[in-house]
């Protein structure tokens, strides 16, 4: 298959099939074709998001040895990283959320471990919602939920959720892939906008699995997808596979961008880096509190970046960062996710000629 033809097809907003996506993933790093893929991805992200990148900010509410034991997560009881439970007091959650708002985050996320009491999560959400400006977007990052729970998340003032069917789901985690997909549709039915991602990418993942999960993110009709690497948790089985380089992640997130249509405006990567942004990532996260990729209790003292750090990295890749509430998590983002994108397609074609 000619890589130029595949790029043209993607830029013309035709869906690439699994064989075509696999061809793009197979392209060697630092080849001429890899450079073309990344340039096209950057351009496609710019068109899809009308030239504006976003910085979202996440507060990890709690730490607990989690019985679900996902092998890539520092909270997994089996990792032995955190032996005690702890959580941020509500007053501190509110203060941090307001701090993110003041720093210019385009959306504020609340994250908890999967076994955190659902009602308590909602109560915290309600209080944070009251403390933030009405227009500030609040997003939930929690475990799987039913339709009823999805409606309660929405009623508590969240406009959307982050959720993923992760690489190795059901193999490296004890969560059923079907359940993850049910959560996608519950969110959708309740009117919650979905952000998702191809994650957590490790060196051992086959191209077939990357392709399969990329297509799942496309079919979920999210407001953003993207690709994020796995951070090795010391002394765990998966840490033996090491860390995927930022250069390789740049290629992977670029292929994801090309596999997805213009109707999906966001393309994230984590952790924030300039090569990724130059390859088409237009969404980074700042983080405080607990972090499933960190062995420190307070991630802002370790892996977590600030809103300013994320903005600076995006700007280094010539992105302009949106000022104000997230467009990805807005009715416009939703409209895009629901549209057939024929209008955007015409505009894109004019950029490829």
Binding site for ligand SF4 (CB under 6 A): 66, 68-70, 73, 75-76, 113-114, 143, 173, 292
Q: Which is nearer to ligand SF4, 173 or 196 (CB)?
A: 173
CA distances from 347 to 253, 326, 327, 341 (A): 22, 23, 19, 10
Query: What residue spans of the chain are helical by DSSP H?
Result: 3-11, 18-26, 32-48, 90-103, 118-131, 147-155, 177-189, 207-219, 246-259, 274-278, 307-316, 331-338, 342-352
Closest separation between CB of residue 169 and ligand SF4, Å? 10
3-state secondary structure of 146: coil
Q: Is 161 left (phi over 0), alpha (psi -120 to 50) or beta?
A: beta
Name the nearest CA neighbour of 226 among 164, 140, 176, 303.
164
Closer CB to ligand SF4, residue 75 or residue 284?
A: 75
Q: How far is the CB of 211 from ligand SF4 (least distance, A)?
A: 23
Can you tell me which residue has the tokens 């629901």?
338
Smallest gap from Cβ 288 to ligand SF4, in A, equals: 17
| CB-nearer residue toward ligand SF4: 98 or 296 | 296
CB of 77 to ligand SF4, least distance (A): 8
Q: Which is nearer to ligand SF4, 173 or 225 (CB)?
A: 173
Which among 220, 226, 206, 301 has a CA at the least distance from the CA of 270? 226
Decide whether 35 or 114 has the Cβ nearer to ligand SF4.
114
Minimal CA–CA distance to 155: which of 121, 204, 200? 121
Rounded Cα distance, 350 and 95, in Å: 46
Nearer to ligand SF4, 101 or 172 (CB): 172
> How many other C-beta atoms lie within 10 A of the C-beta of residue 169?
20
Q: Give the shortest CB-291-to-ligand SF4 separation in angstroms.
A: 11
Q: Which residue, 282, 333, 343, is CA-closest to 44?
A: 282
Q: Is the dihedral of CA 200, 300, 269, 249 positive or negative?
A: negative
C-alpha 164/C-alpha 151 separation (Å) is 19
Nearest distance from residue 69's CB to ligand SF4, in Å?
6
**With respect to ligand SF4, which residue has the nearer C-beta, 45 or 113?**
113
Closer CB to ligand SF4, 43 or 179, in the complex? 179
Smallest gap from Cβ 1 to ligand SF4, in A, equals 36
Q: How far is the CB of 85 from ligand SF4 (least distance, A)?
A: 12
């Amino acid at each position: 298959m000619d890589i130029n033809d595949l790029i043209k097809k993607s830029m013309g907003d035709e869906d690439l099939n699994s064989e075509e996506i696999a061809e793009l993933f197979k392209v060697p790093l630092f080849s001429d074709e890899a450079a073309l893929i990344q340039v096209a991805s950057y351009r496609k992200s710019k068109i899809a998001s009308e030239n504006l990148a976003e910085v979202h900010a996440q507060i990890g509410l709690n730490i607990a040895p989690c019985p679900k034991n996902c092998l890539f997560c520092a909270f997994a009881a089996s990792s032995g990283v955190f032996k005690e439970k702890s959580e941020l007091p509500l007053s501190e959650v509110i203060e941090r959320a307001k701090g993110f708002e003041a720093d210019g985050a385009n959306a504020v996320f609340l994250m908890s471990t999967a076994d955190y009491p659902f009602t308590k999560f909602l109560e915290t959400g309600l209080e944070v919602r009251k403390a933030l400006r009405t227009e500030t977007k609040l997003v939930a990052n929690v475990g799987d939920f039913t339709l009823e729970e999805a409606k309660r998340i929405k009623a508590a003032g969240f406009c959307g959720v982050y959720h993923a069917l992760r690489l190795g789901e059901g193999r490296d985690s004890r969560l059923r892939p079907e359940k993850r997909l049910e959560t996608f549709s519950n969110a959708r039915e309740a009117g919650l906008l979905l952000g998702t991602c191809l994650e957590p990418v490790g060196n051992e993942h086959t191209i077939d699995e990357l392709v399969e999960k990329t297509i799942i993110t496309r079919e979920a009709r999210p407001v953003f997808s993207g690709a994020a690497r796995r951070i090795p948790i010391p002394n765990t089985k998966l840490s033996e596979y090491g860390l995927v380089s930022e250069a390789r992640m740049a290629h992977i997130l670029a292929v994801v961008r090309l596999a997805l249509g213009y109707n999906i405006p966001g393309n994230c990567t984590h952790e924030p880096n300039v090569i990724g942004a130059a390859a088409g990532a237009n969404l980074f996260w700042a983080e405080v509190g607990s972090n499933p990729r960190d062995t420190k209790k307070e991630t802002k003292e370790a892996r977590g970046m600030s809103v300013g750090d994320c903005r600076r990295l995006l700007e280094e890749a010539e992105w302009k960062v949106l000022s104000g509430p997230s467009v990805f998590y807005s009715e416009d983002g939703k409209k895009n996710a629901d549209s057939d994108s024929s209008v955007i397609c015409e505009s894109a074609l004019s950029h490829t000629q």
